[in-house]
Structure 1
Amino acid sequence: MAQAEHLASTVLLGEHGRRRAGMGDEFWQYRPIAHGDEVRQIDWRRSARSDVHFIRQKEWQAAQSVVLWVDGSKSMGFTGDRSRAPKSDRARLLALALSVLLVRAGERVGLANLGAPPRSGQVQLLRLAEALSGELSGADYGTPVTRGLPAHARAVFLSDFMGDMRGVEAALAAAADRGVRGALMQILDPVEEDFPFDGRTIFESMGGTIEYETLKAGELRQRYLDRLAARKDRLEHLARISGWLYDCHHTGHSAQSALLWLYSALERAR
């Protein structure tokens, strides 16, 4: 929680507005008067500068619900360097820091893993911190959880997305059916991106259910990189057709840049 609060404090953001007209205190835009508008809605100062009467609209600022799914599978426990935190640590930190920013902006936040409705306030942040402190599950790879997603809410999935893509496809389809949009953030270790292996190598999944031994690991590099690029393209395509946004983040890079992307992605996924 302390790390998340510190990360959130390094990000200077404006009001997390709804970016459309409605009930609120902040100015949104001027628009020409239309049939059905009342005379009392006219902004006479703005209208005096034109031959057209204008209505002053305010931005809708009702709280929205944001649901986070953080992959807790064994594969997220991987790190290619003992001095570098595993993918799971980065995913949990980003999820909690994003929750801090959203709660500060008056939003409701929840974890899909908990199955409880999104809530606001400091107590909710403590609930999320506790939930995100648990052990990784026994499964090698995770599948996004969509149960309990409120209709027309926003969602964020944080994972390495190294498992069966059919689970991701089903989750995005279920979200789209409920009018839910959001962001996919794929979190990878630099070793998974570079594949710096050569000679005799034994590859084993984090859960120990898959093992492969080769004497010529270097010859697999290009095939691996092609498969990884194809998976990224598939994730980006699925996100695009579902009205979501996709980004890939490496644990060797700044968490601040990833947090900024996630926050702005929720603004754009409307």
Structure 2
Amino acid sequence: MITPLALREKAETQAARLPALLARAEHLAGAVLLGDHGRRRAGLGDDFWQYRPAQIGDSRRMIDHRRSAMGDVQFVREREWQIAQSVMLWVDQGASMRFASSDNLTTKAERARVLGLACAILLIRGGERVGLTGTQLPPRRGSAQILRLAEMFSQDDTQDYAPPEHRAMIPHARAVFVSDFMGDIEAVRTALTKAADRGVRGVLLHTLDPAEEAFPFRGRTVFESIGGTMEHETLKASDLKERYLDRLAARKAELRHLCAIAGWQYGLHHTDTSAQSGLLWLWRALDGGRARA
């Protein structure tokens, strides 16, 4: 099992290649804290936003005399309202994530953990508060939180398919879900529905091994879940290929549909591609762009 320090080192390497990420939050109503990035709205803060003509009720201390001396109109120097966004992560720790079809490939679990932690590093460096969904690790800032996340990500779940954690969703926060989403689709539906009810917007990164896309199996094959709770033997594995691929396509379509309803973004990532490509997609998606995957 990968150690927390080794996981953090890999995540740091990935995060170092991208600029600090500032998540562009939707309007925050509930847990709003003063932070380190602007929201393009006048209010408390240190960074300049704009000049505007002085109005009745403005304090004389708000007048920018240097700008006002350039003409006959008095101007007020406005500053940005600064808030720290809460971002909650759910990285699937279920047994199905510990699958790799080749010794040359990383497991889905290791790729998901590295991407989740690298994303957290970028967010924390950008001034965000990052934690886990649920109640185990509330969003916080600082380097100590990165190590806490690494420790939590290093723990394996005994279930074959771990359902998304949807408890303690902070209203109007952001969220990141990384999983193979091979388990019960109703658990995903419940999580995204509860997130949408609380105004939580987020991104869902569907992480798969290339063999799970191609289904290269032929002849006599024994399919067994990583947790050992399920087993199926067939003499003609190729006969299952079409039905399997149809179900996989249906699962992808359902995930895209659920994301569209909840206002989330859906991305697809394969473990035979670079971790950097997955992190870049997460960065663009969280930064407000319509990332492609």
| TM-score scaled by length of structure 2 | 0.80
Structure 2 vs 1, CA of residues 58 and 182 (structure 1 numbering), >3 Å: closer, same or farther?
Answer: farther
Q: Do the aligned partners of 1:70 and 1:113 also contact (CA within 8 Å) in 2? A: no
Residue matched to 1:196? 216
Cα shift at 1:61: 3.3
Structure 2 vs 1, CA of residues 113 and 89 (structure 1 numbering), >3 Å: closer, same or farther?
Answer: farther
Encode CA deviations 1:10-60: one digit per residue, 9 max, x unaligned. Answer: 113465556542444556679x98x99969689x97xx9xxxxx9987654
Task: Pick from 225, 228, 237 the counterpart of residue 245 of structure 2.
Answer: 225
Q: Does 1:106 align with 2:106?
A: no
Gaps of at least 5 residues in structure 2 are 1-7, 24-36
Residue matched to 1:76? 97
Residue matched to 1:169? 189
Cα shift at 1:182: 0.3
- Identity, in percent, stands at 53
Q: Do the aligned partners of 2:22 and 2:126 also contact (CA within 8 Å) in 1? A: yes
1:1-270 equivalences in 2 (<5 Å): 1-13=8-20, 15-16=22-23, 20-22=40-42, 23-25=44-46, 60-112=81-133, 115-134=136-155, 136-268=156-288
- SS of alignment partner, residue 81 of structure 1: coil
Tell me how large the CA RMSD over aligned residues is: 2.9
Query: CA separation in 2, counterparts of 1:154 and 1:72?
Result: 20
Structure 2 vs 1, CA of residues 38 and 220 (structure 1 numbering), >3 Å: closer, same or farther?
Answer: farther
Return structure 1 stretches of 4+ with deviation > 3 angstroms: 13-20, 22-30, 35-42, 54-61
- SS of alignment partner, residue 61 of structure 1: strand
Gaps of at least 5 residues in structure 1 are 49-53
Structure 2 vs 1, CA of residues 240 and 36 (structure 1 numbering), >3 Å: closer, same or farther?
Answer: farther
Q: Do the aligned partners of 2:20 and 2:125 also contact (CA within 8 Å) in 1? A: no
Q: How many residues align?
A: 264
| TM-score scaled by length of structure 1 | 0.86
Query: CA separation in 2, counterparts of 1:87 and 1:111?
Result: 19
Q: Do the aligned partners of 1:245 and 1:269 also contact (CA within 8 Å) in 2? A: no
